[in-house]
Amino acid sequence: MATLSDDGPYYLEKESLPGDPSEEFLNEQIPDEDDFALSDEEEDLQAAVKALNEQNLDENLLVNNEEASTIVNRRPEVVEDFVRNFLVKTGMHRTLDCFQTEWYELKMKGLLQEEKCEIVPDIYIRNQQLEDSLRTAHREADSFREAARKASNMHIKLKKERDYHRMHHKRVVQEKDRLIADIKRLKQHYASYEPTLKTLKHKYEVAMKEKLLTKLERDRAVGQVQGLQSTLSQIEVSKINVANASTSPMKKPLTNQNGQPNTSVQLPPPRAHHPLDSEFPPDKGVNPYLSKNRAPCAHLTRTGGFRLTNTVSSHDLAVSGLCLHPRKQVLASVSDDNTWKLWAIPSGDIIMTGEGHEDWLSDCDFHPSGSKLATSSGDTTVKIWDFAQAKCVETFAGHTQAVWGCSFHSCGDFLASCSMDGTSKIWDLNSTRCRNTLRGHADSVNSIMFLPFSNTLCTCSADKTVSLWDARTGLCAQTLYGHVHSINHVIFNNKGDMLASCDSYGIVRLWDIRTTSVLKTLDFGPHPSNRVAFDPSTSVLAIASNDGMVKMYDIAGGNTASLTGHEDAVQDAVFDRNGEFLISGASDGTIRIWS
């Protein structure tokens, strides 16, 4: 029987079996061809055990090597080197000298045992590595502890800031709630005053209206008195002429001694086509502004001398046109909200409001007497409003598309209008019919204006031309070329010797009426120029621009400046009669006064 022992060698022990083995056991013979047959050498039990032991030893060494490779990096080191490194590491230099002296002495004499000079066991190296790892872990723990301490301080700081901001937020919310409550209370409080304010506003408008009507009546009475005085003087002159004629048998001459026509002889007027048609005045009238060489105001010599002095929230929608009363400080404004309004200037107090058009209003113009107002609209009509009757007294409906502008003749009997349908019309206020239709433009007619104290009419169109017309015949007398974009507006100066036009690219041209030539070309683009206006002295030109500014141009000096204040496109700009201030209206629904 073989016995295996881990601590000692293997040996065989002889044992005997009682009886005949063949009687109790049936043995099966293994054929020789079987692959598992043992050779003669393998039948030796001791050799088999030895082979098995070697196999197990190889497996154990392989496992140990794998564990060592994964756990400890083997660094062969003899005992004396280990001791030397230890002494050097700990700084024991004197002990190192003694050790080296004694070690080599014993080694040379052969007194050291071989097992004491072998390689240091791995456990020491492992301990040293663990000490290094422990030392590194302590350093990392210290750094982590410091980071944790900083993070804790930061967390505490952030909590304090959070609490502070939370408290501040709660306080702001409380203040907001309190303010909302106060606003609601004030709204309820002011709502009780709303009927009273409306009543006072209505009374104020009625009072201003009565005041304006009173002034108009006074002016009318003064005019009647002056007319009566002139009539009386003519009657007296006629009586004297009749007395002189009765004493002379000769026929009354048509001219006096100076060769001038005799005013006492009345020539019959030409017969009109309609019984109520008005007659155009003779085109020999003298413009009173020609003899007035007005010097520009001191602040107008500098184009940038204007400053914003008043802002009036006039309309709910865009202000599309402005017009000043011929004698009073009254301004008329029209808007896209289908209404027109009268304002006291420069205070900005409202006087009257008119409603009646079915669409937006584009332009307006005062009657030369100041008692009526003409408005043009997108509903294809032109309306005449009488301030004394406080209503619309006439509606001219002849255009087929929106009406862009209107202008009164200086005599007050005729009104001209221009339309998107490419035509312009001249309306007779007495016979309330269209006297002439001006056809010649190939596109929308955007602006129209009578030459002051003349029968000449000027129009501008989207076909990039400016035309001069004879209002009596309806014929085109002259066409001015030069613009390359749609022309938005055209206007004469007071003297009637200069014309200004502006187009949709911001180009402004000044024309000499006598020679029909271009005097200056100004570029204020690329934003469109909507309207232009001369000051009374014809020294400064104001341009209402689509970029929200009013451009000022000094015609003599060539200087330019911009008035900034509107929040949207400026649609119109006008000077007052004395040139002391400028009024502008824009798409932001406001009227601004610059002085």
Q: Over the stretch 2-29, which tens digit does the pLDDT of each residue have?
A: 444 444 444 445 555 555 444 444 445 4
Give pLDDT tens digits for 279-301. 888 876 677 776 666 655 544 44
Q: Concatenated DSSP letters for 213-243?
A: HHHHHHHHHHHHHHHHHHHHHHHHHHHHHHH
**Distances in Å between the alpha carbon of 464 and those of 71, 261, 451, 484?**
97, 45, 20, 6
* Of the ranges 131-135, 260-264, 405-409, 472-476, the best mean pLDDT one: 405-409
Q: Give yes or no for a contact between 497 and 513, defined as CB atoms under 8 angstroms apart.
A: yes
Tell me which residue has tokens 């200004």.
500
Give pLDDT tens digits for 120-162. 666 776 788 888 999 999 999 999 999 999 999 999 999 999 9
Query: What is the arithmetic mean of pLDDT over 583-593?
Result: 94
Measured over the CA atoms of residue 70, residue 72, residue 73 and residue 74, the dihedral's sign is negative
> Judging by beta carbons within 10 Å of its beta carbon (0-12, 13-18, 19+), is residue 355 exposed, middle or buried?
exposed
Higher pLDDT, 305 or 559: 559
531: Cβ–Cβ under 8 A, 6 or more apart, which residues? 488, 489, 491, 502, 543, 544, 571, 572, 573
3-state helix, strand, coil in the chain (%, to 5): 35, 30, 35
The secondary structure element, H or E, covering residue 438 is strand 433-439
Question: Per DSSP, what are the bridge partners of residue 20?
Answer: none
pLDDT of residue 213: 80
Rounded CA separation 334/321 (Å): 5
DSSP state, 78? Answer: B
Closest CA to 455 of 442, 468, 444, 446: 468
Higher pLDDT, 367 or 228: 367
Closest CA to 294 of 534, 38, 549, 13: 534
Three-class secondary structure of residue 573 per DSSP: strand
Please compute Rg for the chain using Cα positions: 58
The Cβ-side half-sphere exposure at 250, using a 13 Å CA radius, reads 5
Whether 412 has a pLDDT exceeding 80, the answer reads yes
Window from 178-182, 244-248, 361-365 with minimum mean pLDDT: 244-248
pTM of the entire structure?
Answer: 0.57
pLDDT of residue 49: 66
pLDDT of residue 78: 75
Closest CA to 394 of 402, 382, 410: 382
Query: What is the arithmetic mean of pLDDT over 52-75?
Result: 60
Higher pLDDT, 52 or 179: 179
Higher pLDDT, 134 or 217: 134
234 falls in which pLDDT band (50, 70, 90)?
confident
The secondary structure element, H or E, covering residue 201 is helix 194-246
Tell me which residue has tokens 């570029």.
523
Q: Where are the beta strands (DSSP E) in 345-413?
A: 349-355, 361-366, 372-377, 381-386, 391-397, 403-408
Measured over the CA atoms of residue 427, residue 419, residue 575 and residue 349, the dihedral's sign is positive
278: Cβ–Cβ under 8 A, 6 or more apart, which residues? 272, 411, 413, 414, 428, 429, 430, 431
Give pLDDT tens digits for 440-466. 999 999 999 999 888 999 999 999 999
Q: Concatenated DSSP letters for 146-183?
A: HHHHHHHHHHHHHHHHHHHHHHHHHHHHHHHHHHHHHH
Three-class secondary structure of residue 83 per DSSP: helix
Rounded CA separation 382/404 (Å): 10
Give the tokens for residue 264: 């006492």
